[in-house]
Structure 1
């Protein structure tokens, strides 16, 4: 009898496609990158429509689309809760 370690459907969910989880492993259950102290919303208020780019400091900030990071990603093992400041 063959058993699978992972639910195949979870990999179809984009929240599980976090490259940081693939590299460092999953973080605490229910935690999202948008709540992490390393998550940043960057951009310019001078641009039309107030464009914002979401990045992870640990992943790296290249000022290009290759390191854009979704707030809804499931957190990786490096997750640390953001301060309430």
Structure 2
């Protein structure tokens, strides 16, 4: 179980690094991105491990990756391409 949690934390860190590298202009400060990725992955691992039970480490890591990506997506800011018009225009 410790190795599964460590694997989930490393997976969250890798996903956070990839998001910060690819979408750095749309994300806040990197320490927040990294900590959100790790925390999301650990929480996702906890939820899937609780729901599925022990012995399914690969599915738990898949659940942790999904939760990490979902939590990282909440940090995204708009690109700024939207035009804001006044109500009278």
Category of TM-score, reference length = shorter chain:
under 0.3
TM-score, scaled to structure 1? 0.24
Higher relative contact order (CA 8 A, sep 6+): 1
Q: Which has the higher strand share?
A: 1
Larger-Rg structure: 2
TM-score, scaled to structure 2? 0.23
